[in-house]
Amino acid sequence: MTQQSRSTSFFLCFRSLYQSGRGFSFPCDDRGRVDLDGLSEVSRNNYLYARAMIGRELAFPAVEAADPH
């Protein structure tokens, strides 16, 4: 990805099934595609964990627009 495309206006959000306000979010495109190569090692591990925990600890992810403010 280019530097320009990294300034995203969307996030892929994984919400906790059990704790309101908890979860993970990762920058993505408007279709929910996350650039794994652009993530830090910690973020990449968190992303893979979130994907594995769908239906167990986390809800199915949703693409959300970034808050412009």
Please report the pLDDT score of residue 67 as a whole number.
79
Q: Is the pTM higher than 0.85?
A: no
Please report the pLDDT score of residue 34 as a whole number.
97
CB 28 within 8 A of CB 12: yes
Longest Cα separation, the chain: 37
The neighbour count for residue 10, using CB atoms within 10 Å, is 18
Please report the pLDDT score of residue 4 as a whole number.
37
pLDDT tens per residue, the chain (69 residues)?
Answer: 333 344 569 999 999 999 999 999 999 999 999 999 999 999 999 999 999 999 999 999 999 998 766
Which amino acid is residue 59, in one-letter code? A
Domain locations in the chain as residue ranges: 9-64
Please report the pLDDT score of residue 60 as a whole number.
98
